[in-house]
Structure 1
Amino acid sequence: MQIIGYALSAFGPNYITWFCFERLFHRKNIDTLTMAFIAGILGAIVTLQTQFAYQVDFNSLVAFVVTFLMSCCYREPWIQRFFVSFVLFVCGVISEGSSWLIGQMIIPVEDMNHVNEAPHFAFVGLLSVVFQILYVIVMMKIIEIFKSRSVKTTTFILFLIVVLTYGIIDLLVTFADTAYLIPALILSALLIVAIAGCIYLFTDQLRVQRERLQLANLEEMLQDQVKHYTALYEANRQVAVQRHDLKNILLNVRSYIQVGEYEKLDKYVAGFQEKVQPSTLIDNGMPFIDAVLSAKMAEHAKIPFENDISMLTLEKIKQPQIAFILAGALDNAIEACEKSAKPFIRVHIGQHGRMISLVVENAADQPVRTAGDRLLTTKADNKAHGYGVKSMMQMAEQLHGMLTWRQEKQVFTLSVLMQDIGA
């Protein structure tokens, strides 16, 4: 019965760890059958170690080393593999502690340090595997939530949470059958409060960063709008001046025709033609969207733009929200076009009932860089260029919509659907 418990406590965590590595890392050129064999060999090593050299601290050391050795089959940097290995090791320790506590309630054991000598040790080992599966699922969900954030901040917060959680379980297991159980419970409650505080501070930091990003975007759109209306005012003023002088211009043209000075007439007309070239200003009656388009087109005049903008009838959605998404999409499109031999950008904004669609197509000679659900900028100053698909996705979700993208035949297409409905 004891060897079965050792095997369950070794092989179960090893294969759970392998599953987690497959989800979080990129495997080297090692086939699945070989990986299964490696996990089995490492499980056998842990089983033999606990059978012939059982000691609680030494068991923990061997378990962590084995976990980290398995991570060497993947391509990620060692520090990232070390951290994930430590998290999985702590999940294993927590699951063992949980199973020991439950086992103590069902099957009283006088000395928890020698639980391996209990007659129902195999049951405790199986229960430990079940707990580890549950804890790993929770851990994967947390990593899924935090993985798109700042790597350093996320690593620090998760590491702190893992250490505090480890401390809680270690306290409860150590003092479970002693007179110090009550103080241990009080200290554990304080540690839980500390964990909650860490999570609160982290989520509050994310909220502040997101609001700063949106504020910076709105400030830029406001500046673009001021430039847009300034240029529009100047263009209208010039048209008014030309309209005022039109009578005199026509008289001069007629005079040149009457005297046959066609060469002078051509120069005279050419001079006015330069003044009345089509403006790049966009005026669709939607100031925020027009300002974004006008600013991007003016800044990147060498990139041909094709705009198909329908007049939107909005009730719940605000123009700045659509302009926020459009600005980020155009930043990414412009970045791709700067490296294209034949750049172009097509913008389509339309409405069908309460559904708003925004589609941006652009030339993309090179495959886009992605990380999960994010598109990565290729510029050195990545903080000053692009707003990130993550922010656009969050805005689309706030508007009860979704954001998708695809790349086919050197054409990148970003599509956003939004619903103009209430909360």
Structure 2
Amino acid sequence: MTSTTGSVKSPAKGSAKGDRSIGFIPEWLERLDRPVTTYYVLVGVTTVLVGFGLIMVLSASAVTSLSETDSGSAYSIFFSQLIFAVVGMVALLIASRMSVSMWKKLALPVLLVGLVLQALVFTPLGIGVKGNRNWLNFGVMTMQPSELLKVGLALSGGLILSTKRKQLGRVGHALVPYVFPVGMLSLGLVLLGHDLGTVLIMAAIVGGVLFTAGVPGRFFAMSAASFAVIAVIFVVTSPNRLGRFDVWLGRDRDQFGAARQTIHGRYALADGGWFGLGLGGSREKWAWLSEPHNDFIFAIIGEELGLPGTIMVLVLFVVLALACYRLVMRSSDFFVRIATAGIMSWIVVQAMINVGAVIGLLPVIGVPLPFVSSGGSSLVTTMLALGILLSFARAEPGCAKALAARPSLIKRSFAVLPKRRSRP
């Protein structure tokens, strides 16, 4: 028998480059597999979304600022949003520098603070906005405590379910204590304020957390049926919500009544066409669309920037979701995986509901577009959530070491300057 040992020839010394081009993994794909990829993708997407959101808020809110604010300035809403963006950036930077172990310690305190603040909504500090009692007025500022509850639900879900990882095959351990009482208490307090849109987002967080933890599928079937019954009850018992469903189903086409937002949102998208009317050129923001800088800012994006602008926004959220998915798959910490899935479910589902309402696929529920719509509580908490994800990304094996070895932006900037010659 002839031996096959040594029958495979070793590659030539100069063929390494050629082998890489015909290998299984291209060079550009190898770069995406680096430990710092998730970190930089999250930083890049967040920066673009927040910056783009500020530009669109400035464009969409100018008319509203002039007509509905006491300042007489076209920039009042924009400056308010800019201040919240700065606060959110500080929160993001602080959160990104905290360790995973610290977030495990803060998970329950964040949840408890959110629950207490949400309960204060039903005291004299609480105020109602368009039929929803979900705001706190502290005089110098107002806030929506349910936004902090979203962070608490994601973090506490990671903490509770990671400690019960081996028992999650039994529904009782999956339900107690995360679903009962934590989840039900959180959703119940918000539901008492009649904010069904926020409840849907929070339910998506709970569902994403449980799914990632590996809870049996039969639990989701039972929960979906129960939640659907509750949602139907809240819709049929509220004339406002029932009117929104009539608009969505086409029964109400009064453009000066309940259907005004939906109809003029579609007008805006239709006016934008393929390439838009140009930044600042929206017609619908001139008192036709009542929420151009908030819930219906996506319509203004389509009107001013056309199809490329709307597709860019959708692509950014898809990239954000892929970065979160990559973080879930590459992390060995069960807490990180579950909490990341909760935050991803929050941001992605909220974006889907907002865009779906604008284009007519869903009824108008009244949730902002994350990072883009005007609103201080939403912007600050979503940036805080991204800071938490950056903290998790830094904990990815090899990421912190690679970031530490990379010179800072300031050092790289000064490195291109010519060095001063020393005097003889």
- After TM superposition, the score normalised by the length of structure 1 is 0.22
Which of the pair has the greater relative contact order for Cα pairs under 8 Å at 6+ separation? 2
- Larger strand fraction of residues: 1
